[in-house]
Amino acid sequence: MLVAHDMGTSVATELLARDVEGRLPFRLRAVVLLNGSMVIERASLTPAQKVLRSRLGPVAARLSNERSFRAQFARLFSPDHPLTPEEAADQWALLAHARGHRIIDKLTYYLHERVTYAARWHGALRDWQGPLELAWAMLDPVATGAVLDAVCELRPSAPVTRFEELGHYLQIEAPEQVAPVVTRYAAGQPSSA
């Protein structure tokens, strides 16, 4: 079973594409996709993401700092489950390790790939024969309900679990709500939704 979120949905859809082509060296039994801008033209990218995708991306990366990161990252969380200082510190530590924050424009290159490989990855979402379920936070300001609608247009039979009061990082905001969806699916009990 594969569970993917955010940039991980790019990896997941490439794995689906390879499975459709018969080139995957292992079996994907089931897939659960959490919020990700898989249909990028329907996403509402943040101002920072737009700058990082532009030719000014390297400059923005070099100017990045913990204060601006915390402010931008906090906007991805829902009002009822705000970013905690501890989580912000942990996420910054991960990003800043080995000066990773200085190459964040390269780390966000997956946004360009979502344009380049759109036909392939959208086709994989549509054509992959295995069970695929969506678990979606409806207060995500980037991978909004419009992205979910677009994925559902590609895969109308996909069951969807909506989390009405959660933001982009649903698995951090409310793991006790998200974990049952994943464990139920891992046990071979897909939603009937």
Q: What is the tens place of the pLDDT at every residue in 146-188?
A: 999 999 999 999 999 999 999 999 999 999 999 999 998 778 7
Other beta carbons within 10 angstroms of residue 99's beta carbon come to: 8
**Closest C-alpha to 52, from 96, 115, 97, 103:** 103
For 121, counting Cβ atoms within 10 Å of its Cβ (0-12 exposed, 13-18 middle, 19+ buried), the class is: buried
Euclidean distance between CA atoms 114 and 27, whole angstroms: 24
d(CA 111, CA 162) in angstroms, rounded, equals 24
The structure's pTM equals 0.92
